[in-house]
């Protein structure tokens, strides 16, 4: 005896697992010890919650805006990636800041052990 099961598009969607809400490329928030860093937090908030990062990358991006009066203008945005290392048993945390505000939060590979002479730098 052969049984045929027909599923509608709605029932297939209903069976999909529910995923957490995230931004396009990362999470909306992440724990730093017992504190939570969220998209929209300022650079000062991140340092207050997580301390200074192990590494900072900084660059400028140019965005062309065309306001309603149709004259194009360039806007320069400072972008930084702050990488936090919580040791070899945890993943790296990478916060992207645009003009001093967190816009993206990602998880990197496993962290690394810091040698005592590196801690003093």
**pLDDT cut 70: percent of the chain above it:** 74
CA 46 to chain centre: 12
Please report, for residues 49, 63, 64, 75, the alpha-carbon distance to residue 69 in angstroms, rounded to integers and kept in the order given: 42, 17, 14, 16
Checking if the pLDDT of 36 tops 70, the result is yes
Domain ranges of the chain: 20-112
In DSSP notation, 68-83 reads TT---EEEEEEEEEEE
φ/ψ (deg, to 5) at 49? -90, -35
Tell me the average pLDDT across 24-48: 89
pLDDT digit string, tens, across residues 55-89 = 999 999 999 888 777 788 899 999 999 999 999 99
Higher-confidence residue: 5 or 98?
A: 98
Confidence of residue 26 (pLDDT cuts 50, 70, 90): low
- Across all residues in the chain, what is the average pLDDT? 81
């Amino acid at each position: 005896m052969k049984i045929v099961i027909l599923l509608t598009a709605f029932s297939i969607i209903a069976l999909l697992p529910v995923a957490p809400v995230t931004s396009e490329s990362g999470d909306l928030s992440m724990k730093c010890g017992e504190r939570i860093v969220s998209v929209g937090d300022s650079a000062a908030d991140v340092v207050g919650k997580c301390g200074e990062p192990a590494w900072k990358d900084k660059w400028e991006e140019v965005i062309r805006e065309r306001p309603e009066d149709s004259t194009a203008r360039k806007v320069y945005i400072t972008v930084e990636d702050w990488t936090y290392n919580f040791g070899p048993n945890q993943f790296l945390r990478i916060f992207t800041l645009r003009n001093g505000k967190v816009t993206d939060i990602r998880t990197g590979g496993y962290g690394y052990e810091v040698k005592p002479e590196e801690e003093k730098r």
